[in-house]
Structure 1
Amino acid sequence: MRRLTLAAAALTAMTATPALAQQGGYGSDTAFEEMMAGDYDRAERKLLESARTDVGARINLAQIFASSGRERQAAILLRSVMTNDDIALEGVDGRILSSHDVAQTLLGRMGQAEMLASAER
């Protein structure tokens, strides 16, 4: 199993789960530094390429999409994580998380946020 390092994020209510994947030395860029610095435009540009083959990058790109009102694209990316092999992700606190669990949690939070927004209308 492949391991990536994750950091806690607060991009939106959807992203209260640790899911910012740090570059793990596997030849792809997960834009960890840019996201931690709040430079989401630059992070998105970097992630668009690496998300094609890197699950951690895909999770990060999904968070950027969701935080910028592109929930549909975020959901597509998170569902694609679920179709790949489940990989181990290491949190900043040292916890090992399943890529499938992270994607499922984020999808669930997106659904909750959507339900809350509908209720407010």
Structure 2
Amino acid sequence: MSTPQTPPGRPVPPAAASGRSLRTKLLSGLGVLLVIAVVMVAKVGIRDAFSEDPVRAGVGDCVAVTGGGDAPKVEAVGCDDARATHTVSKVVDDTFDPKVCDDEFDALSQQLDSDRFVLCLTPRK
């Protein structure tokens, strides 16, 4: 059995469609992108993807503490910044225990992997 020949000078008919619609191709592409995103988050670590590094401030530095409870947000700011809420009075390394600060201070424990420390803070007025 031979294949039909196209007479000379006639256009060649287009190849048969692959059977996959444009929508199916787009959904497949989005699926691949989703898998790549999940793999990247797993590689970086879920905790690191959604958390911030602890604020490493020194004695005399000012910080802005917002939020509260179990998840306050801390940002190092200039002492002339209107957002500055506290001044760092003491830094205690290698602990996560807020009791290392005297009662006159607000304590803020910070940790990222093995880096643990407590900032003893004096509220600014």
* TM-score, length basis structure 1: 0.21
* Larger Rg computed on CA atoms: 2
| Structure number with higher strand proportion | 2
User: Relative contact order: is structure 1 or structure 2 higher (C-alpha 8 Å, sep ≥ 6)?
Assistant: 1
* TM-score, length basis structure 2: 0.21
